[in-house]
Amino acid sequence: MIGVVKSWDERRGMGQLAPDRGGADIAVFASEVERAGLSRLAVGDRLSFTVQTDRALRRSYAVRLERV
């Protein structure tokens, strides 16, 4: 999936991605940014990502981040 960084709060270590295909925004966390080897995110950055869902929390978030 591809989308754009809609918001990013460095202090909180989290933000939101807006998928190009539309639909609900997807959470993105600093741990995934670091795991992807990215130094930081900025509003407007385009990323490809996979959506993973935590069934216990019933929340989806982005993993396998790559800049496009």
- pLDDT tens by residue, 9-35: 999 999 999 999 999 999 999 999 999
Q: What is residue 32's predicted lDDT score, i.e. its pLDDT?
A: 96
Give me 34's structure tokens: 């670091």
Q: How far apart are CA 14 and CA 27, in angstroms?
A: 7
- Give mean pLDDT, residues 55-68: 92
Q: Is the model's pLDDT at 57 over the cut of 90?
A: no
Q: What is residue 55's predicted lDDT score, i.e. its pLDDT?
A: 87
Return the CATH fold of 2-67. Answer: OB fold (Dihydrolipoamide Acetyltransferase, E2P) (2.40.50)
Q: What is residue 58's predicted lDDT score, i.e. its pLDDT?
A: 86
Q: How far apart are CA 8 and CA 63, in angstroms?
A: 15
* Summary mean pLDDT of the chain: 95
Q: Domain segments of the chain: what residues?
A: 2-67
